[in-house]
Amino acid sequence: MEKVGIIGVGQSSFVRGYPGSIRELAFEGFKEAMEDAKIHTKDIGASIIASAPEYDKQRSPAGVIAEYLGLVPQPTFYIESICSSSSMALRVAYSMIKAGLHDVIAIVGFQKMSEISSGESQERMGRGADIQWESPFGTMMPAYYAMYAKAHMAEYGTGEEDLAKIRVKAATYGQINEKAVYRKPVTLEMFADPESTMSATVAKPLRVGDCCANADGSSCIIVASEEKAKALCDKPVWILGLGAASETVNMAGRDLLTGLKVAIEAGKQAYAMAGVTPKDIDVAEVHDCFTIAEMMAYENLGFAKPGEGKDLIGSKETYKEGSIPVNVDGGLLSKGHPIGATGGSQIRTIVLQLRGEAGEMQVKDPEIGLVHNIGGVGLYGNVTILGR
């Protein structure tokens, strides 16, 4: 069957307070991707815009952004699966190209979270839970992931220092990522220092250092049919496997609190479609909205057995020089998490890695990469496997 390839990737800098509009923000990632692909707007058959609603006042932003980017009269679509919106958009674009509807599609993910306060942002995130049975009681993202952290600690003896090691790794690479919002070093000593911001409790056992930051940003992925990809691009990166799953919204309906079932299921699908196993993955981007999320991802994706994720980070096997480098661009913990743009940013990182264009963050000669992108508290899961 004809393959589907990625021919261009782009990303804005992730920042805490973008001064322009959402259309201007979207343009930044789009411009870089178009220059990367060396194509023109007339070459794009359709666009998919990905974000989470209610962070800005624009309703149906797809039309507004498509117009600003010069992508009319081509059709445009709006995709939302909270934090995994960009990855879900890639799945839709893949399907549309396979169906023969379009040859080239631009996926633009964005989020301008600074238009509302931090408190309002937390309330919006809380609405990702069931607004009848859970979110009215004040549940918020850090508290949900703190529940998972406590369960993991109780089941496997995971410690707070094990989680802190993940943030130290993230900061190691965030410092060299010019597009990251947080570019400062982090040490284990900072987690032990009561005077350090990193050690302040957010939702026990998670501390400030265990949590990613809100950010404004955009990303863009340009996807093409095999024929177009080979004609337009010298080094296309191929989509080898796609997996997606969903979970019960309410925590009361879940029977696993030491991992995310959507990641396990989506990973199984993606591995089967690509015809590979976890041992074949050379570099990975996982959804580290909290340190415990990265720990669970190690285990859910088969990089480590359940309970052994702490050994993987403890031995630095997930560092750039390790057996399975993970989030060597700093991850969400350092880059920031502009919800709709996050999946596209992750995909961009893996594409650059597979093309050998990741600069200081480059892993040695990777052939297969994986992106793990989660929406909400394990409500949606997307796993994408890419190959050069």
Boundaries of domain holding 85: 4-117+214-232
- Tell me what the mean pLDDT of segment 292-313 comes to: 98
Q: Is residue 108 assigned to a domain? A: yes
Cα–Cα distance for residue pair 344/244, rounded to 1 Å: 16
DSSP state of 106: E
Q: Is residue 56 assigned to a domain? A: yes
Q: Out of 19-23, 122-126, 350-354, which region has the weakest mean confidence (pLDDT)? A: 122-126
For the four alpha carbons of 127, 14, 292 and 51, in that order, the dihedral sign comes to positive
Cα–Cα distance for residue pair 145/141, rounded to 1 Å: 6
Residue with token string 């863009």 = 220
Residue 57 pLDDT grade (very low, low, confident, very high; cuts 50, 70, 90): confident
**Active-site residue, from 102, 152, 287, 337:** 337
Q: Out of 136-140, 146-150, 352-356, which region has the weakest mean confidence (pLDDT)? A: 136-140
List the alpha helices (DSSP H) in 157-253.
Answer: 160-174, 188-192, 226-232
Q: Is residue 334 assigned to a domain? A: no
300 within 8 A of 267, measured Cβ to Cβ: yes
Q: Which of 80, 137, 66 is nearest to 111 (CA)?
A: 80
62 within 8 A of 76, measured Cβ to Cβ: yes
Q: Is residue 387 assigned to a domain? A: no
Is 83 one of the catalytic residues?
A: yes
Pick left, alpha or beta for residue 40 (phi over 0 → left; psi -120 to 50 → alpha; otherwise beta): beta
Is 289 one of the catalytic residues?
A: no
Q: Is residue 287 assigned to a domain? A: no
332 within 8 A of 352, measured Cβ to Cβ: no
Q: Is the previous residue joined to 73 through a cis bond, with omega within 30 degrees of 0?
A: yes
Phi, psi of 178 (to 5 degrees): -65, -15
The CATH number linked to 95 is 3.40.47.10
pTM above 0.75, yes or no: yes
Per-residue pLDDT reduced to its tens digit, 143-178: 999 999 999 999 999 999 999 999 999 999 999 999
Quickly count helices (H) and strands (E) in the chain: 13, 11
Q: Which of 213, 214, 210 is nearest to 165 (CA)?
A: 210
* pLDDT more than 90, % of the chain: 90
Pick left, alpha or beta for residue 356 (phi over 0 → left; psi -120 to 50 → alpha; otherwise beta): left
Q: Is residue 109 assigned to a domain? A: yes
Q: Is residue 245 assigned to a domain? A: no
**Active-site residue, from 40, 83, 220, 233:** 83
Q: Is residue 223 assigned to a domain? A: yes
291 within 8 A of 163, measured Cβ to Cβ: yes
Indicate whether 125 pLDDT > 90: no
Per-residue pLDDT reduced to its tens digit, 76-109: 999 999 999 999 999 999 999 999 999 999 999 9
Q: Which of 150, 191, 147 is nearest to 167 (CA)?
A: 191
Indicate whether 127 pLDDT > 90: no
Number of domains in the chain: 1
Burial category of 54 from C-beta neighbours within 10 Å (exposed 0-12, middle 13-18, buried 19 and up): middle
